[in-house]
Each structure stands twice: as structure tokens, then as C-alpha cells.
Amino acid sequence: MKKIEAIIKPFKLTEVKEGLSRLGVQGMTVNEVKGFGRQRGHKEVYRGAEYQVDFVSKVRIEVVMEAGLVQEAVKVIQEAARTGQIGDGKIFVIPVDEVIRIRTGETGKAAI
Amino acid sequence: MIFAFEELKKSRKQLLSMLLTSQTMDNFQAHHTGNMDQYFRVSLQESQAGHRLFSKRTPFAFLAVGGYGRGELSLHSDIDVLILFGSKIPGLAKGLTEEIFYPLWDLGLDLGYGTRTIKDCIKLSRDDFEVLTSMMDARFLCGDSLLFLDLIENLKKKIISKRKPIFARWLEDLYQVRMDIKGDASVILEPDLKDGIGGLRDYHYILWLAKAFFDLAEPRDLEYSGKLSHNEYKALKDRLDFIWLVRNHLHQLSGRKNDRLNFEYQEKIALRLGYQDCRDLLAVEQFMGDLHASMADVKSLNRTFIKSHLPKGRGPWKEAEALDLVKGLHTYQGEIRFDSATVILSDPLMLMTVFEQSLQTGYPLSMEARRLVSEFLSLLDNNFRRSEQTVGDFLRIINGGHAFDVLIQMQEIGFLSSFVPEFGKIENRVQFDAYHTFPVGRHSLETIRRLKGINKQKEMLLLDIFLELPDPEPLFLAALFHDIGKVGPKHAVRGAEIARKILERMHYPGKATENVLFLIRRHLLMVETATRRDLNDEKSVVQCARIIGNPEKLRMLYLLTWADSMATGPGAWNDWISNLVQELFFKVLNILVRGELATDGATQKVQETLDGIRRISVRDEGIDPDPFIEVMSPRYLLVSTPRDIVRHIGMAQGMREALKNDTVPVFAFDARENPVEDCSEITFLAKDKPGLFADMAGVLALNSVDILSADIYTWRDGTAVDIFKATKPLDPIDPDRIWQRVRQDLERSFKGQLSLAYRLGQKRASSVLYNHEKSGRLSQVVMDNSSSDFFTLIEVFADNQVGLLYMITKTLFDLHLDIRIAKIATKGDQIADVFYVLDFQGQKIEDEAHLKEIEEALHYQLIQE
């Protein structure tokens, strides 16, 4: 089992979510986050005061799935989230040791 | 014992079914209390210990205290009983309690009891006012009634009469603690029915105060003694009945004593009470709206009662004298009062004046004044609403610094919803989710409050923007009415329509009205755009800018967006969203300030162009233009004619088809005469890649096509649209031959089979026509990074030469710059070029050194020979 963590541009959330749904991915966790990579924040000046934003607002999606689905899921996310401009984000694939459903105690694949 | 117990069990069952089947309080409390009273009386009569005490002539009394004493038992409320003895507690008392009380625990009732002498009671009450209030609510059940009266006498004489001010202070402190811990139940999502502000404790506060200060015995005495008017008392009882009803259902559903109305219970109770989902509001939303309204009334009544009847502390108003305000009103001890009721009758407009004076003086209305306003609300007719004077006063209130304090009073009294009936319709609407903290009416007032209190430390930008507004009045009106359309879906648009009627009624001036309506109609625009559109895409921002139209409206909209979100709930505004909306604000501002793309003229022109495109494509080709229009950039649409655009669409369509067939290289090429401007027009479409423009320029130069002007655009799907205007070709008889060669050269260049640098170099060296002389004029390169948020602008001025454009664009390519837009112009033998560039990662060039390098490199090329 693997966990996919994707940092994407906020307005791409709906597209990515729909793409994953079509793939059969059943659940996900979504967070509002801020960060920066090579996309720099920008600076504005208003009435003599500087307003510098260093951390850009992004959305983080976390999904856990069977390893076999990962390759396709990554492709779907990439296609949906891409604008071609800097700041499109990154996808991380992380191994998962165990998954447990709290309500029933199921583990492994059945708990995803 | 058994008999009494069984009776109690049976009657409790009846009570439960009564609750579940009826939808009103009916006599639930009377029954419940009566059942318990019956139990105690009968079981006392049956008890052995009781008989023994009687025979020993030891006087004792059973008293109901606390909530039980008040007769206000809910299903799982505590039952507090006191066994009172005269001077000494006999040993038999223990037996008595065992016989009578123990069985009750078996029934699951929460029983609290004490065995005390009168002296004990006095001592405890002196030390702990909570015990005192419990005693004040005491009610005789059975036993020796003289003992009970003795207790009450002692309480009054020894404690209450001596400690009134301290007691009053204790009561108010308790209120503050409740406010701090439980919050204002009349507006929060999961209210505490007892301890929340507006809850049952507000009523108990009134009762205890009245009992201590006015020696009242029964709740009914509040009316009898004139402390509350008949209407006020009736309203209070109705509200309380409703809250008790809800509380009983809450107890039943939780299976225990519980005052916290959590989400999970709200829907069930709404259905039990007979609420039904309707088109615009869920059952639970109607229910919670009613509950909040009831609790708001209780809260309001409590505050004015306390204010009126608590002894005044030493306030800033030392004078006990009345101070006259305008005719008919005066202030007294920090409150505004009417001189008399006839003041209102003879001039109903005073109903608004009193609030205006509240704003001016900073003093609230007295309880009596509030009562008078509330009683005379029927005088508010359309003449009142349209009157220039009342409207003027109202606007003054809206604009005042303490607008919120006055508006809250207006709302609590019911004046606001009478003056603006449309507001009354949405006032108590609750949105059933964890996102919205307040009902709509209160939320609107909170929005105004935020605008009035922008903190300089935390929100410097917003404050600066606010201070720049020439007239914030439309903003305040928009804040008040922005959710007035929440009677149904699409509340923003609907709200604007409703607000228009209100403003017409107020004879509000036209231009300002348009601003108010714009703000209401578009109050969700900035958040929606910031979270759902790509802010790096110029087109998204331009579209938003066109809707907004000018910087003043932008400023007001940004302020309203912020205030609305802040007043919605804790989840609605945070750093994350603030970043996005602020970014949008600055980008839209820059577009509006620079002009060109988002002027009214621009918006209209684009619209006409779009209409033209659709008209022509339908007529001619049957190509669906919309998918193409979607990706066309703002400048392209602004400048090109519909006919040309349709032609380009055709070329793009052809390219798509060629792509499918895998023909390489893929580009579309069209050259034709432009008789109007007496030149040739060459249109070139290809998939954009860095260096494309350079290649194009190079090929044209190679073929001696003298470029007069060029417009380069890049569509959002990556299609480059290059439009060149050139002098008529060298061979006027057979121009097509030239174009053929150009096309071939392009193909070869794309395939990498043509070296433009080499060829052009050769051509220049050998050309007799080439002018090797320098004219005395200097060339100029200007780097501009501030005119656009989306591109770095590079302006080049120089003498015209063959292949100059190629050299410039090639240089830019070598420096890893991607030309997205370009405007090439020649005037005589001078060129004036503007290039909008991005680096290969799609960002503006921020690095100072890089910018310098570009400038130097271009300059070098220009002076090069």
C-alpha cells in the first residue's frame, strides 16, 4: 500500500478530485497549506507600504491506495493539476505499513 | 411507600408519552412537579419515621428548592429537596431520608437533598449565594408550614436586606462568567439552553433580583407589580415555554440531564416539533432560527430589566438630573428616554430620532424607551419608511462610529425589521452547517461592525484602502444588505434586486445605488475567483477586472469580502485565503490602473467582437468557435477583427487535423494582400515553443520581406499566432512565388535543415542594398518589470536593419526568454518593439542581474555591426 501526497494549486482541486474519483479512488484528505518551492512569492507596494507574501497558498491532497493503482493515480493527478507554469506543485509517493479502519477494526486492503 | 413509588413510576411514563406526542409544553412542568409533590406528600404520610417524628412533636418541613422549588422541572432535571428542622436535627432524620429518598435513586432520578436546621440554612446562605438563590426559590411541600415561614423571614431579615448590593454584584458577575464560558446562546450554533446567554439562567437572574429587591414571591408578580408590562411578561413566558419544550426533548434524546443542544439533536427535535423542510429552508434551520430568536428576546429582556432595576454604580453621569436632548427626549443616568408616550404619538418620526440620538450621545435606550418603541412599531408605515427625515437619520446611523451598537438595539427591539421589512424576512435565517456562526441578521450587523473596527496593526492594508474611499456609505449599506437575498438560491443576484427596491424607497441617489447593488451582486466574486481560477493567468484576472470596472469599486469589494468572511465564522478567513484574495486584489488593481485591458470601452469591444465571431462562423463554416474563444488571450481579442479571428480559427482547426495525421512540421501559414493598408499580411500559427518568433522573423528577413509591424499572441492552449504586416514583396507580378519560398524555408527551419544565423550573416555581408552606415541616433533598450504582473516587458528602439528583428529575438531566445506577446512597429527607418516575455519556467524575470544581462546583450546586438 502506498500513500500519495500531492501539493497542487488551489483552483485545481476540483479537477484532481474528479480525476481520482473516475479512477475509483474512494477517499482522500485535503488540507489548506502554504509553502514555496522555486515559485517565488511576490511583493506589492501600496501607499508606501510593502506587502511581501513568501508562502504561497496551496492545497495538499493525501490518498492511500494499493500499490498497483499508484502509477495511474499519479498520472491522473499530474494531468489534472498541470498548468505548465511554475508552481504546479509536486507529488510524493510514500510507503504505508498498515491501514486500520477505526469503526470495524479491518486492516489492510479492506480498510482503504 | 410502595404505593407512592408505583404511582410515581406510572405518572412518569405518562409524562414521557405526553412529551412525545404533544408539540407544546402544555402542562408538562405542572404535571411533573405535581407528580413529585404527590410522591413526597404521600410517602411522608406512609413513612414510619415520619410518624415517629410526629408523635414526638418534632416539627419538620419538606421543602422543594432550586428548580424544583420554582416548579420548572425538565425530564431529567435534578430534584432538590430540603428537610428543614427547627433547632436540632434528630437521629430519626436519617431513617426518614432512607425511606423516602432511596427509592427515588432506583428510579434513576437525580435527587439532591439536605437535612438542615434554620440556623444551618442561614449560615450557608450567608457564605454562598448559590445556596441563597436555591433557598429563595424554596416551596413548601408538607410538614410544618410555620417552620418554612420562619426560614423565609430569617433569610429576608438577616441576609437579603443587608446584602442587596453585594448580591446584585454577584448576580452580574455570574452573568459575565456565563458569557465568557458559554457564550451568547442566541447566536451560536450549539447553544447551551440554560447557562448560555439568552438561556434559562437569564430568567432566573431576573427572578432572583426581583425577589431580593422588590420582595416578589411568584413569577407572576413581575407583571402584577408592574416591573414588566403585560406584553413583556407574556412574551417572556412564551419564549421560556419554547425553550423548556426544547430542553425536555433534549433530555429525552440524551437520556440524561443535558443543556447543550448539539447538532445531532437539532434535526430530530425540529421534526418532533412539527417543522418541515420547505423549498428555501430546512426544518432544522427554521427551528434553530426560532430558537435563536426566542433566546435573543430573553437576553434582551434580561439586559434591559437589569439595567433599569439594578442600583446604578458610580458612572460618568454623576448628575441625577435629566439632560434634555432634542425635543421630546432626554438622557438620565446614562440612558435615553422619551419625555412621554405622547411624544411618539404626536410625531411618529421620533421612533427613528431616538436611535439617532443614541448614536450621537453614545447612550443606549432605557428599558422604558425600548418598550415604548416596541409598542408603537405599528406606526411604522410606508410614509415613515420613505420620509426624508427618517432616511437621513438612518444613514447618519449607518455612517456613525457606533453604528453597530445602535443597529443591535434596533434589531433587538424589532425596529429594524419594521423599518426594512425585507431585513425581517432573512433576519433569523440560520444556515445549518459548522461554517456559519450567526443567523443572517446578526451576521449582517457583524459585517458592519468589522468595517468600523479595522485594526491598524493586524490589517494595515485594509485600513489604508478604507481610508482612501471618498465615501464609504455605499459600502456600509452593502454590508447591511448583502445577504438580504437569502430567502432563496442565488442570493447575491436576488439580493441586489431586493436592495434596489429598498434604496428606491429611500430615494437613494442613482450613482451610489449602482455601487451598492454592484457590491451586493458581486460580494462573492473575489473569493470565488481567488480559489477557483488560475491567478497566474492574465485572462482570469482580466475577466475579473472587467466585471469590477474601476479601482474604487475594487477597493469597496475587497473590504466587503474581508468583513463578510470575518463575520461568517472562524473557518471563513485565514492566512491561506487572505493570501489568495490579496494577490487577486493587487493584480486586478494593476490591470484597472494601467487601463487598456479592462476599460469600459475594452469590455464592450470584446463583447462586440465575440458576437461578430459567432455570427460569422455560424454563417460560414459551421465551426464551433467557442472552444477556441475559451483559449484566446485578452489582448488578442481586443485588437483583432472578428473576420480575422474566424480565419485564424480555421487555420487552427486545420492544424489540429494535421496533428492527428502526424504531419510534421505543423504550422499554418497564410499570406495575402491587405489593400487597405497597402501591405502584405502574413499570418502564421504554430504550437508555441521558445525561439519560434525568431525563426519566423529570420525566414522573412532571409526572403527580403521587410517587416513593417508584427503582433504576436499566444493562446492559452499554446498556439502561437503571429501576424506580420510587411511591405509588398519584391515581385509584384508573382507574389506567390515568394510566399512559397517562405513556406519552404519555414519547413526546413523547423526541421533544423536551415541555419538562419549563417544565411542571414551571408546575406548581410553581400548585400549591396544593405546600409552599413549608422544614422546618428542612439538605440535604446528599456526593461520594464512593473507595468504587468504577468510579464516582463522589454522595449527596444533602434535603426531598422535587415534581420534586426531576427537578431533581437534570437538574443532573447539565447537568454532563455519566451516571447509571449510582441508588438513590432516601424516608423521610417526606426523600429519600436515591445516584447512581453517570461523565462522558460513561465515566470517574470525577477533577478536583477539577469535583467541587466538582457539589457546589455540587446544593446550590444544593436550597436553591433
Share of chain B above pLDDT 70, in %: 95
Condensed to tens digits (0 to 9), the pLDDT of residues B566-580 reads 998 777 888 889 989
Average pLDDT over residues B845-854: 88
Residues of A in contact with B577 (CB under 8 A): 32, 57
**Pairing relation of β-strands B707-714 and A43-46?**
unpaired
More reliable by pLDDT, B107 or B813: B813
Instruction: Give the 3-state secondary structure of residue A58.
Output: strand
Contacts of A43 in chain B (CB under 8 A): none
Helix (H) or strand (E) holding A60, with range, is strand A56-65
B381 lies within 8 A of chain A by CB: no
Classify domain B664-768+776-863 at the CATH topology level: Biosynthetic Threonine Deaminase; domain 3 (3.40.1020)
pTM for this predicted structure: 0.75
pLDDT bracket for residue B316 (50, 70, 90) = very low
Query: Quick one: average pLDDT of B225-241?
Result: 88
Q: How far apart are CA B496 and CA A58, in angstroms?
A: 33
Q: At what angle do helices B575-594 and B551-566 cross, to 10 degrees?
A: 170
CA distances from B826 to B25, B553, B626, B767, B770 (A): 89, 39, 35, 21, 17
Angle at B790 between CA B787 and CA B794, to 5 degrees: 55
- Beta strand ranges found along B675-791 (DSSP E): 679-687, 707-714, 719-726, 780-784
For residue B668, the model assigns a pLDDT of 87
Average pLDDT of B209-231? 87
Backbone angles phi, psi at B110, to 5 degrees: -85, 95
Residues of chain A with C-beta less than 8 angstroms from the C-beta of B582: 51, 53
Q: CA B354, CA B344: separation in Å to the nearest integer?
A: 10
Instruction: Please write the tens of the pLDDT for every residue from B763-796.
Output: 877 766 555 555 556 788 999 988 888 899 999 9
Q: What is the mean pLDDT of chain B?
A: 86
Q: Do B534 and A83 touch (CB under 8 A)?
A: yes
Residue of A nearest to B585 (CA): A44
Q: Do A85 and B843 touch (CB under 8 A)?
A: yes
Query: Do the Cβ atoms of A34 and B582 come within 8 Å?
Result: no
pLDDT attached to residue A92: 97
Q: List alpha helices for B522-574, DSSP H.
A: 525-532, 538-548, 551-566
* Residues carrying CATH 3.40.1020, chain B: 664-768+776-863
Could you give the 3-state DSSP secondary structure of residue B755?
A: coil
Please answer yes or no on whether A10 and B464 come within 8 Å at the CB atom: no
Q: Which residue has the higher pLDDT, B820 or B561?
A: B561
Cell of B744: 519552404
Is pLDDT of B350 > 70?
Answer: yes
Mean pLDDT within B817-832: 84
pLDDT per residue as tens digits for the range B358-408: 999 888 888 789 889 988 999 999 999 999 999 999 999 999 999 999 999
> 3-class DSSP state for residue B649?
helix
Grade residue B65 by pLDDT with cuts at 50, 70 and 90: very high
Indicate if the pLDDT at residue B254 is higher than 60. yes
* Residues of B in Cβ contact (< 8 Å) with A42: 583, 789
pLDDT band at B716 (very low <50, low <70, confident <90, very high): confident
Instruction: Please report residues of A whose CB lies closer than 8 A to that of B845.
Output: none
**pLDDT tens digits, residue range B175-200?**
999 988 888 888 788 899 999 999 99
The confidence score (pLDDT) of residue B484 equals 93
B516 — phi, psi (to 5°)?
-60, -45
| A–B CB contacts, 8 A cutoff, strictly below | 59
Cα distances from B779 to residues B16, B337, B831, B862, in angstroms, run 95, 80, 10, 7
Is residue B343 predicted with pLDDT exceeding 80?
yes
β-partners of residue A44 are: A51
Burial letters A80-97, b for 16+ CB under 10 A, else e: bbebeebbbbebeeeeee
Q: Does B463 contact A at CB distance below 8 Å? A: no
B141: pLDDT strictly greater than 50: yes
What tens digit of pLDDT does each residue of A52-62 get? 888 889 999 99
Confidence of residue B23 (pLDDT cuts 50, 70, 90): low
pLDDT at B44 over 90: no
Question: How high is the pLDDT of residue B315?
Answer: 45
Q: Which residues of chain A are within 8 Å of residue B468 when distances are taken between CB atoms? A: 47
Does the structure show a pLDDT above 80 at B691? yes
Q: Which fold does the domain B185-379 belong to in CATH?
A: Four Helix Bundle (Hemerythrin (Met), subunit A) (1.20.120)
pLDDT of residue B733: 75
Amino acid B352: pLDDT: 94
CB contact under 8 A, B531 and A85: no
Q: Say yes or no: B841 contacts chain A, CB-CB below 8 A.
A: yes
Mean pLDDT of B233-240: 91
Residue range B460-492, pLDDT digits in tens:
899 999 999 999 999 999 999 999 998 777 889
Is 50 exceeded by the pLDDT of residue B639?
yes
Is the minimum CB–CB distance between B575 and chain A shorter than 8 Å? yes
Q: Which of A77-91, B774-788, B839-853 has the lowest mean pLDDT?
A: B774-788
Partners of residue B565 in chain A, C-beta under 8 Å: none
What the block records as the C-alpha cell of B442 is 446578526
Q: Give the residue from chain A lying closest to B527, CA to CA.
A: A11
Confidence category of residue B88, pLDDT binned at 50, 70, 90: confident
What are the tens digits of pLDDT across the range B146-181?
999 999 999 999 888 888 888 988 999 999 999 888
Which CATH number do you get for residue A96? 3.30.70.120
Confidence of residue B318 (pLDDT cuts 50, 70, 90): very low
Closest CA to B293 of B445, B452, B378, B185: B185
List, in order, residues 6 or more apart from B168 with CB less than 8 Å away. B209, B212, B213, B310, B311
Q: What is the pLDDT of residue B621?
A: 65
Q: How far is residue B98's CA from residue B105's CA, in Å, rounded to a whole number?
A: 11
Q: DSSP class of residue B155? A: I
Which domain range does residue A16 map to? Answer: 2-111
Q: Is B89 on the interface with A (CB under 8 A)?
A: no
Region A93-112: mean pLDDT is 93
Q: What is the pLDDT of residue B770?
A: 57
Range list for CATH 1.20.120.330 in chain B: 185-379
Residues B265-315 pLDDT 10s: 999 999 988 899 887 678 888 898 889 889 988 998 898 888 777 655 544
Q: What domain count does chain A have?
A: 1
Kindly state whether B528 is in contact with chain A, defined as any CB-CB distance less than 8 angstroms. Answer: no
Q: Which residue has the higher pLDDT, B48 or B450?
A: B450
* Rounded mean pLDDT, B347-359: 93
Amino acid occupying residue B290? D
Q: What is the pLDDT of residues B592-628, one digit of tens each?
A: 887 677 777 788 888 899 998 888 877 776 678 888 8
- Fold category of B2-162 in CATH: Beta Polymerase; domain 2 (3.30.460)
Chain B window 386-405: which residues touch A at a Cβ cutoff of 8 Å? none
**Which residues in chain B are closer than 8 Å to A53, comparing Cβ atoms?**
579, 582-583
Please name the residue of chain B whose CA is at the shortest distance from the CA of residue A15. Answer: B532
Complex ipTM value: 0.88
Looking at residue B447, its pLDDT comes to 95
